[in-house]
Amino acid sequence: TIKGFAFDMDGVLADTAKFHTIAWHQIADEVGTTWTPELEESLKGIDRMGSLALIMDAGGVADKYDQTARENLATKKNTQYRELISTLTPDDILPGMQKFLDELKAAGYQMSVASASKNAPFIIERLGLTDYFKSVVDPASVTAGKPDPAIFAAAADVLGLQPSEVIGIEDSAAGIQSINGAGETSVGIGDKDVLKAANINFGSTADVTLAAIEAAW
């Protein structure tokens, strides 16, 4: 039996993917990497330094930047990203998700957040969603980021649940891999071709309801 839900944040709860894109696109321009839709998709769910490494690899410029230079670029990206997200309000909750959270809360499910973002607690607060979640997993506390199962395993753990009792919800291929690896049921939101490893697929957050998930599992 399912007793809890573990939520990804960027692209599932919060409409923040567009802000990550703005900030990373500028860094890509700076290091000389051509921005493509494929590169943009591949950064979803990948932590900050990992995303920067993917951008450098795509442009074949990895050997030009040492650790200090990388940290400077990552800080620059995050400074711009923080500026963009400082304006977030509950209006930036993705369509249907507030209603879905209310539905889950009323039905007695436990909820946690499994986001790769170090900015997650700030964003959840800005969206006014803090009280729905028993815990927001600190991505710095897990040994490896998505696609490793560690973060979704931790998201079940903080709820005191077995992985088999948890449904994980994600918009990234790396995140679906993490959920599946942790032994949870995976729900993918977005392009079905990108998220083909998910147990259940939805095209958009607006389609996600408890009834639709129950019908599929």
Q: Taking CB under 5 A as the rule, which mask of x and - marks residues 25-64 in contact with Mg ion?
A: --------------------x-------------------
Q: Smaller CB distance to Mg ion: residue 56 or 114?
A: 114
**Helix 150-157 vs helix 173-182: crossing angle, to nearest 10:** 60
Q: In whole angstroms, what separates CA 6 from the centre of its chain?
A: 11
- Candidate list 33, 42, 112, 119; residue touching ligand B16; CB under 6 A: 119
- Candidate list 4, 45, 149, 190; residue touching ligand B16; CB under 6 A: 45
Sequence-distant (6+) residues with CB within 8 A of 48 are 74, 77, 78, 118
- Candidate list 105, 118, 134, 196; residue touching ligand B16; CB under 6 A: 118
Q: Smaller CB distance to ligand B16: residue 172 or 185?
A: 172
- Candidate list 41, 78, 80, 199; residue touching ligand B16; CB under 6 A: 78
43 binds, among ligand B16, Mg ion, none (CB under 5 to 8 A by kind): ligand B16
Q: Is 29 among the catalytic positions?
A: no
**CA separation for the pair 51, 45 (Å, rounded):** 9
Q: Tell me the one-letter amino acid at 211.
A: A
Determine whether 205 is exposed, middle or buried from the number of CB atoms within 10 Å of its CB (0-12, 13-18, 19+).
buried
CA distances, 212 to each of 7, 28, 186, 202 (Å) = 17, 39, 14, 9
**CA separation for the pair 145, 158 (Å, rounded):** 17
- Site residues, ligand B16 (CB under 6 A): 8-11, 20, 43-48, 51, 78, 115-119, 172
Contacts to Mg ion by CB under 5 A: 8, 10-11, 45, 171-172
Residues forming the active site: 8, 10
